[in-house]
Structure formats: C-alpha cells, structure tokens
C-alpha cells in the first residue's frame, strides 16, 4: 500500500520515531496541555509526530504548518468514569482524514472489563485504515485485572499486531526485546507518568538498545518546565544514537533551577 508506506515514512524515519502524545485532555487536563499549540511550536524541531484529539486539531493555528506528522486519536475516556479503562471510539478514520491526519491512533486496555469491545472496534478500524491507506498506531496497555510485566506487555503488543496495527505503543518493561520480537512492525516505548527525568531517559535508552523503534512521550515532555530540553534529549537518543551518559550530562547542564 503506497499511501500507507508514504505516511508511515513521515512518522518513522530511518526506523526511528519521537512521538508527542497530547491526547490527555479528555482523561483530565494536565499541566502543560492547556495550550497545545505553544508546546508543539516549541518542540516541533525535535519530534516526528504529535497525537491530538479532533477538537484540538480543528482549532489549532500551528498543526497545519508544522513539519511533524499529525495523528488523530480516535478513542477516549475520562478520569470520572465508573470505569476509566473503558475506552470509547469518539471519532472516525474519515473525520481524521478530513482534518489532514497522517495517521490515527486507538488506545486498547487489555485485561479491562470492556477488552472484548475495544478489540472488536480496533479490528474494524484497522480495516478502514487499510482501505484509505492510513497508518494505525495502537496504544496497547495491560490494565484492569492484569499487571504490567514483560509477559503481559508482550501479549498486548502481539494483540495489536494481530489486529492490523502498523505501529505499536506499549509501556516500558525489562527484557523489552521479548516484546519487540513478537512484532515485525515498529514498537515505540511509552513515556509513562512524569517522574525523574534521568530515570525516564535511562528507560528510553534501555528500550532502544533492546529493539524499540523510538518513544511516544507526552507527560514527560509537556509537564516539564522546559519541554524543548526534554524533546531535544529524546531526539539525541532516538535519532542521534547519542550515548546515554552524554544525554544525561546535557540534560543536567540545561536544567534551570
């Protein structure tokens, strides 16, 4: 599929990608996500793609002009829901295309009470994506009744692969190579909650050395008081193949107290 290959090449460059998810506002407004345009404008030099919901895309003054690829997120839930793990489809592949998307993304919580419904929907969405030549990023998370470990993340990744995803986003686990080895498509490691920046960079580096194709980090970037600094360090790791200690040294030198 030429169209899909061309669009994937905008997101995954030479086998590597830095993706900035900023789809968190429906779950709950996070620090730093109040003005998506401001953050994207600041960091766009260092990212390959940004993930947003349709409303953000509709009202953005920056997304249309940025060099990074646009990924429209199709699923959502809120922190106030009876079951926040119950992700619902809130827009369509067709709408994403109308908004100029280079790809779409869907979040699936494996092990949640509504796992079956989520799996069914992403299976159908993957077919629509194939019809239009639009890449599908599947965010695969063990949630609900199962814990996050190498085996459950490996299984979640394989589910996304089997359902027809083109790129996978999964949580970091040790022995990340066991996750990558069950999928012959790009697998990017999730950034997770905001925490120690040095520990975050070490996790990303470890995943890259074990076969990850890049990183999809939102909160560790936009929650930061210096998102450009974090985005640049990720770019150094992912695209520059910079040694970890060099990146950590740069990160420390650029911290503004």
Active site residues: 23, 141, 169
* Whole-number Å distance between alpha carbons of 105 and 236: 25
Nearest to 72 by CA among 41, 35, 99, 46: 99
Please check whether residue 122 is in contact with residue 140, taking contact to mean a CB–CB distance below 8 angstroms: no
Q: What is the chain's alpha carbon radius of gyration, rounded to the nearest angstrom? A: 17
């Amino acid at each position: 599929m030429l169209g899909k290959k061309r669009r994937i090449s905008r997101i995954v460059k030479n086998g590597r990608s830095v993706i900035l998810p900023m789809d968190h506002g429906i779950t709950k407004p996070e620090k730093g996500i109040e003005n998506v345009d401001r953050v994207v404008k600041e960091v766009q030099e260092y990212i390959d793609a940004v993930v947003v919901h349709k409303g953000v895309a509709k009202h953005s003054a920056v997304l249309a002009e940025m060099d990074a690829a646009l990924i429209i997120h199709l699923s959502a839930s809120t922190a106030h829901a009876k079951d926040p793990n119950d992700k619902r489809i809130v827009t369509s592949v067709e709408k994403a295309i109308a908004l100029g998307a280079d790809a779409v993304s869907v979040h699936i919580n494996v092990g949640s009470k509504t796992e079956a419904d989520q799996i069914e929907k992403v299976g159908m969405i993957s077919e629509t994506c194939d019809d239009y030549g639009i890449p599908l990023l599947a965010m695969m998370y063990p949630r609900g009744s199962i814990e996050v470990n190498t085996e459950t993340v490996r299984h979640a990744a394989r589910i996304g692969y089997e359902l027809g995803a083109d790129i996978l986003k999964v949580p970091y686990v040790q022995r990340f190579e066991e996750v990558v080895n069950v999928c012959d498509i790009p697998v990017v490691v999730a950034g997770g909650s905001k925490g120690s920046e040095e520990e975050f960079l070490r996790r990303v580096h470890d995943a890259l050395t074990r076969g990850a194709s890049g990183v999809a980090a939102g909160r560790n970037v936009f929650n930061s008081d210096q998102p450009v600094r974090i985005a640049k360090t990720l770019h150094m790791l992912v695209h520059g193949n910079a040694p970890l200690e060099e990146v950590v040294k740069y990160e420390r030198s650029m911290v503004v107290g």
